[in-house]
A and B are shown apart, each in its own frame.
Chain A
Amino acid sequence: GENVEQHPSTLSVQEGDSAVIKCTYSDSASNYFPWYKQELGKRPQLIIDIRSNVGEKKDQRIAVTLNKTAKHFSLHITETQPEDSAVYFCAAAGGYSTLTFGKGTMLLVSP
């Protein structure tokens, strides 16, 4: 089955800095890569996703890049703000397979 590795497990940045979270996956058939944000005490919520026919996708301060050859994808957050502090999960799935999640990254943005 699919295996998703996520790094780092914790990331501390100063407000205004950029943050990058990286994930690798094992199944070359995977074609859907979402990112979820989970604020403290809340449910995970989708913030951005990318499909394998696209190399990069942006939504305001958030972007995701995908390298199918190397089987890794990354989340980029620019101009970080304290409200970006949360746990971020990457995931991968292909076709009829279910989503497999990484173990999560706790992002702390200090004012």
Chain B
Amino acid sequence: EAQVTQNPRYLITVTGKKLTVTCSQNMNHEYMSWYRQDPGLGLRQIYYSMNVEVTDKGDVPEGYKVSRKEKRNFPLILESPSPNQTSLYFCASSPGQGSSPLHFGNGTRLTVT
């Protein structure tokens, strides 16, 4: 089954404790992206990647890192999480950038205390 898999689904952590949210897709998509969803603010892009070893900042990249060492994986790294990073995070992929439908993962709800 074609899908985007994120883990974990729920995560509670404390300020400053490094964490990684994993994302994997099995559709051989070139483009992958991370979004955060906050009430009233919609979906805001954090980082995206057009292909292996190619990443770029989205609209809200501060406090986040990503890597794209393999085509299928695109982990989101929070080196020193803060409470304002409490949010619902979605990973997504598509065959190409821009004019292609996005396939979303099931989301990761992160709480930073």
Contacts and interface: CB of A to CB of B under 8 A. Distances in A.
19 contacts: A31-B99, A32-B98, A42-B106, A43-B104, A44-B43, A44-B90, A45-B104, A89-B42, A89-B43, A93-B98, A94-B99, A95-B99, A96-B98, A97-B98, A98-B48, A98-B98, A99-B45, A103-B42, A104-B42
B93 interface: no
Interface in A87-108: 89, 93-104
Interface in A61-104: 89, 93-104
B61 interface: no
Contacts of B48: 98
B58 interface: yes
Interface residues of A, number: 26
A53 to B, nearest CB: 11
Contacts of A31: 99
B98 A43 contact: no
Nearest to B91: A43
Size range of the chain B interface in the assembly: 20 to 34
Interface in B14-36: 33, 35
Contacts of B41: 103
Nearest to A49: B101
A99 to B, nearest CB: 6
Contacts of A6: 42
Nearest to A90: B42
A42 B98 CA distance: 23
B101 A46 contact: yes
Interface string A1-19: 0000010010000000000
Interface in B62-113: 90, 97-102, 104-107
A49 to B, nearest CB: 6
Contact of A96 (B40, B43, B97, B101): B97
Contacts of B43: 44, 89, 101, 104
A25 to B, nearest CB: 13
Contact of B40 (A36, A42, A49, A103): A103
Contact of B45 (A51, A96, A98, A102): A98
